[in-house]
């Protein structure tokens, strides 16, 4: 086995190369990554290498051999499959690693994200829903030093940035959201999809699932006439007839 | 194998530790437990121990090793996985065991439950639908002593309680529903989800599926302008144009 | 193996006992038979025995051991599992075998059927959709003696009967539809579900899938303001504005 | 093994006979080919033979033995299963091979295609959505000679033709779209479904997934009151109130 191959071959289903393939398949069947849309990257907790799904591959068919591996310091490719090009998302993933201390980033073309980007202006907002508690507030408990989640009574706010012709052109607006929304773990790209990150792949996956659930619910609330961030007990005032 | 492990390791797929894992996976792919939401508990019919899914675990990946086991008398943990915290639902599950003689409790973040909690006031109501017959009336046949199901012409009523910041704060309102709705096998928590119980896990699962089906149908009826509890033959009067 | 067991045990996946289990699982995950709703029966082409799914069993977990087998002449049970009761649909299935020369009958609690029964009056109607061609017209080609399918320009009509407290009470109205709609291969039961039959299980399954597709489409057309049986080119006249 | 069988039996999952079966199953569970609707054909890159799914077979149960194989020059069948008839789509598939240099054609009864054909007139249009970039513009880079994809700011246009009683009657209108829309990789058939082709099966599959995603999104936009081809930033003007 060449040294390149040792980077991606492992019997451990939790190895980043295996996890990316498993999750791409799961996301494909969740309709988040059809038509080769979307992408995913995981930082190996041991080596700190960035594992990256390539561009243009059918997500449900991805194999470890298809992945790129990048050195976290030099940003050189330690491994590049001959058949594929790096994902155009790569600079955005690197920005999340470097500026947000991410351990993994998930990018989907979720229709819930696209529809929310049509309904909402510069910010997705939903409040007073139990599932919000799956999302981190960005604050840390001063005693335990553990991250504090949003509470049921909080409002989840996710910035929405405008899409560009090429994904790497999103980098400036992404950096701007890091300043304007220092606590966010996600950015919606209008008419495009969503980027979600976390300190490790398990967390990123949980955040992505919870946010997609909340975006789906927000669309349903909008259709019922209920503002997704309306106060508890205000629903009936807004409820569209009959 | 330590005595702790004998509590959770069995070749029998019907063993509570195996069933919880199987059902959590099934519920995850039904979109009831994404983002680590929801939970489940089964009372072992032989030992009466309570088996409990932990907090914060991805439901489709749950393993028997992840489960808590509680003594039904002392409420002490006979087994507690080091990595996880008990679910915040635990006191609610215990209340269902103790006050409702439940054999299993299912808690989901079903979007149908959340949307119904926005449409309905203090009570979910649907009438004259065949699937209602899957739900127990709470009455018992005086001859056979078997539970009597609701009939097609009955109205299913499920109480809706308000959500709180922490799940254990729901306990008072849960107890109140036990008094106000002595025959209910479910409680909807507004903007949160639903709790469904039954005398055994098979029954709880069937009740949960039937109630989710009925909540989904009630939302569709509401959108068509038809009150979900309207009389047979009254639909066309309510049917929203065109 | 007792003679009872030889009725239900076969290595052939096309044996009725195996097919019923496979299809119940498939239908469960299609949301047609959750909460133990629905049922299925297949006539063994070789022995003419009727194979029947029992009442109250979780459809995705059904095993050959759970099935009833009935003699087609005497209507006596050749095999009856001790744990279960016969399905309340049994008399309706037998009526389809005897009066419609059915080879299999599928009964689901499809939400599309229930919603269509709320939108439509005494008859479900849809016209000018390609998928209609999967449904038999009831006529036979006088030369080849093969059944003739509906054409694209035909209107599919399915009778809708009222639900009763008990399924066996549906028998009179079912017989009436056999007279009023001699060519139909399906009957919708209002606020309940649908019965679909065919000369063999493959045909019944295809008819059921095609009808469910057409009911789903009819609901979407209704919501857009387009009558599901409107003429080709008339759609835009009806299309509800934004 | 007879020479006929060598045409369809291979251990390679990428062999056209195996791929057709795998994809038919995947498409069935995506609700694109239920009730035996739809079809698929792949040109073997090595022999140029056309592999064709037959008429009337349940798509999730298709086996290599069920397939037709056609000589690309003579259009004679090199292999024809005794039990089945050729698909009525065959002349349309052959037209795509001959006139569009297709390597594979996918035909589905996608409800998104049917609903779009009811909402739109002679042309499906959507603009300014990231997923559009999965669709080829029909132009070729003059330097690399590689196909150029649509850009985010482009409008995807897919012609809609009227359905006929028999699929082979669609051939004239299909040829007409080849002239009027020389760059399209798809044609929607009103009240019927969609045909999508590409230079190879992987591409055809990706185009089909991306187009279905875009049709689904267009329907959602229409329901929100937003024209699917409206300009960026114009959404809020159109957004139907609650």
Residue C224: is its pLDDT beyond 90? yes
Residue C128: is its pLDDT beyond 90? yes
What's the pLDDT at A5?
A: 86
Q: In B114-123, which positions are buried (b, 16+ CB within 10 angstroms) versus exposed (e)?
A: bbbbbbbeee
What's the pLDDT at D73?
A: 97
- What is the band of B125 on the pLDDT scale with cuts at 50, 70, 90? very high
Summarize pLDDT for B198-217 with one digit per residue, the tens.
999 999 999 999 999 999 99
Give yes or no for C140 touching D (CB within 8 A). no
Fold of A89-103+110-230: L-fuculose-1-phosphate Aldolase (3.40.225)
ipTM of model = 0.96
Restricting to C residues 171-190, those with a Cβ less than 8 Å away from any Cβ of B are: 189-190
How distant is the Cα of A12 from the closest Cα of chain B, in angstroms?
15
User: How far, in Å, are A53, A209, B44, B93, B106 from residue B102 at the CA level?
Assistant: 47, 31, 11, 9, 11
How distant is the Cα of C38 from the closest Cα of chain B, in angstroms?
10
Distance CA B215, CA C139 (A): 41
Residue C237, token pair as written in the block: 């006249």
Query: Which residues of B does the annotation mark as catalytic?
Result: 130
- What is the band of A76 on the pLDDT scale with cuts at 50, 70, 90? very high
Question: Is the distance from CB of C186 to CB of D80 less than 8 angstroms?
Answer: no
Which CATH code, of 3.40.50.280, 3.40.50.720, 3.20.20.70, 3.40.225.10, is assigned to C88-233? Answer: 3.40.225.10
User: Nearest CB to C165: which of B152, B235, B239?
Assistant: B152
Residue B27: is its pLDDT beyond 80? yes
Domain layout of chain B by residue ranges: 1-87, 90-101+110-227
> Is residue C192 marked as binding?
yes
Give the chain B residue nearest C163 (alpha carbons): B130
Phi, psi at residue D30, to the nearest 5°? -90, 5
Residues B217, C111: C-beta atoms closer than 8 Å: yes
Question: Is the distance from CB of D160 to CB of D188 less than 8 angstroms?
Answer: yes
Give yes or no for A240 touching D (CB within 8 A). yes
What's the pLDDT at A4?
A: 66
CATH class of B90-101+110-227: alpha beta
Among all chains, which residue has been given the structure tokens 């049922």? C39
pLDDT in tens, chain D (242 residues): 466 689 999 999 999 999 999 999 999 999 999 999 999 999 999 999 999 999 989 999 999 999 999 999 999 999 999 999 999 999 999 999 999 999 999 999 999 999 999 999 999 999 999 999 999 999 999 999 999 999 999 999 999 999 999 999 999 999 999 999 999 999 999 999 999 999 999 999 999 999 999 999 999 999 999 999 999 999 999 997 64
- What is the band of A119 on the pLDDT scale with cuts at 50, 70, 90? very high
Residue D135, token pair as written in the block: 């669709």
Summarize pLDDT for B135-169 with one digit per residue, the tens.
999 999 999 999 999 999 999 999 999 999 999 99
Give the chain A residue nearest B164 (alpha carbons): A152
* Chains A–B, number of C-beta pairs less than 8 Å apart: 70
Contacts of B189 in chain A (CB under 8 A): 130
What's the pLDDT at D2?
A: 61
What's the pLDDT at D193?
A: 98
Residues composing chain C: 242
Give yes or no for B205 touching C (CB within 8 A). yes
> Is residue C109 marked as binding?
yes
Residue B240: is its pLDDT beyond 90? no
Residue C211: is its pLDDT beyond 80? yes
Q: In D15-27, which positions are buried (b, 16+ CB within 10 angstroms) versus exposed (e)?
A: bbbbbbbebbbbb
Distance CA D131, CA D125 (A): 13
- What is the band of C99 on the pLDDT scale with cuts at 50, 70, 90? very high
Residues B216, C240: C-beta atoms closer than 8 Å: no
Chains that touch D (3 or more CB pairs under 8 A): A, C
Give yes or no for D163 touching C (CB within 8 A). yes
Q: Work out the mean pLDDT of chain C and round it to a whole number.
A: 95
Fold of D1-87: L-fuculose-1-phosphate Aldolase (3.40.225)
- Which site among B28, B54, B56, B118 would you substitute to test the A interface, given the most A Cβ atoms closer than 10 Å to its Cβ? B118
Mean pLDDT, rounded, for B7-12? 96
Give the chain D residue nearest C14 (alpha carbons): D61
Which CATH code, of 3.40.225.10, 3.40.50.1110, 1.10.3720.10, 3.30.43.10, is assigned to D89-225? Answer: 3.40.225.10
> Is residue B107 marked as binding?
yes
What's the pLDDT at B3?
A: 63
- What is the band of C124 on the pLDDT scale with cuts at 50, 70, 90? very high
How distant is the Cα of C100 from the closest Cα of chain B, in angstroms?
25
- 3-class SS of residue C157: strand
Residue A75: is its pLDDT beyond 90? yes
Mean pLDDT, rounded, for C147-166? 97
Contacts of A223 in chain D (CB under 8 A): 242
Contacts of C206 in chain D (CB under 8 A): 35-36, 58
Q: Work out the mean pLDDT of chain A and round it to a whole number.
A: 95
Sort strands C155-161 and A193-198 into parallel, antiparallel or unpaired: unpaired
- What is the band of C5 on the pLDDT scale with cuts at 50, 70, 90? confident
Sort strands A155-161 and A123-127 into parallel, antiparallel or unpaired: antiparallel
Question: Is the distance from CB of D111 to CB of D202 less than 8 angstroms?
Answer: no
Question: Is the distance from CB of D229 to CB of D126 less than 8 angstroms?
Answer: yes
Sign, CA dihedral D116-D117-D120-D123, equals positive
- Name D74's Cβ contacts closer than 8 Å, sequence gap at least 6: none
D1-87 and D89-225: same fold? yes
Summarize pLDDT for A182-223 with one digit per residue, the tens.
999 999 999 999 999 999 999 999 999 999 999 999 999 999
User: How far, in Å, are D43, D105, D159, D172 from residue D98 at the CA level?
Assistant: 11, 12, 19, 14
Residues B189, A232: C-beta atoms closer than 8 Å: no
Mean pLDDT, rounded, for C197-202? 98
- What is the band of B26 on the pLDDT scale with cuts at 50, 70, 90? very high
């Amino acid at each position: 086995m060449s040294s390149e191959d040792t980077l991606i071959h492992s019997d451990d289903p939790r190895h980043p190369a295996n996890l990316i393939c498993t999750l791409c398949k799961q996301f494909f069947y969740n309709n988040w990554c059809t038509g080769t849309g979307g992408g995913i990257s995981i930082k190996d907790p041991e080596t700190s290498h960035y594992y990256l799904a390539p561009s243009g591959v059918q997500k449900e068919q991805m194999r470890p051999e298809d992945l790129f591996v990048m050195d976290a310091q030099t940003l050189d490719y330690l491994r590049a499959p001959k058949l594929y090009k790096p994902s155009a998302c790569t600079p955005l993933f690197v920005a999340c690693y470097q500026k947000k201390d991410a351990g993994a980033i998930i990018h989907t073309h979720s229709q819930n994200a696209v529809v929310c980007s049509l309904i909402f202006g510069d910010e997705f907002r939903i409040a007073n829903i139990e599932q919000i508690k799956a999302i981190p507030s960005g604050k840390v408990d001063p005693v335990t030093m553990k991250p504090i989640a949003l509470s049921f009574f909080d409002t989840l706010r996710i910035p929405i940035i405008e899409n560009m012709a090429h994904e790497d052109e999103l980098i400036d607006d992404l950096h701007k959201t890091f300043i304007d929304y220092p606590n966010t773990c996600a950015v919606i790209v209008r008419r495009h999809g969503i980027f979600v990150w976390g300190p490790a792949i398990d967390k990123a996956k949980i955040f992505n699932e919870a946010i997609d659930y909340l975006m789906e619910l927000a669309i349903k609330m909008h259709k019922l006439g209920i503002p997704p961030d309306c106060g508890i007990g205000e629903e009936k005032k807004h409820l569209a007839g009959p």
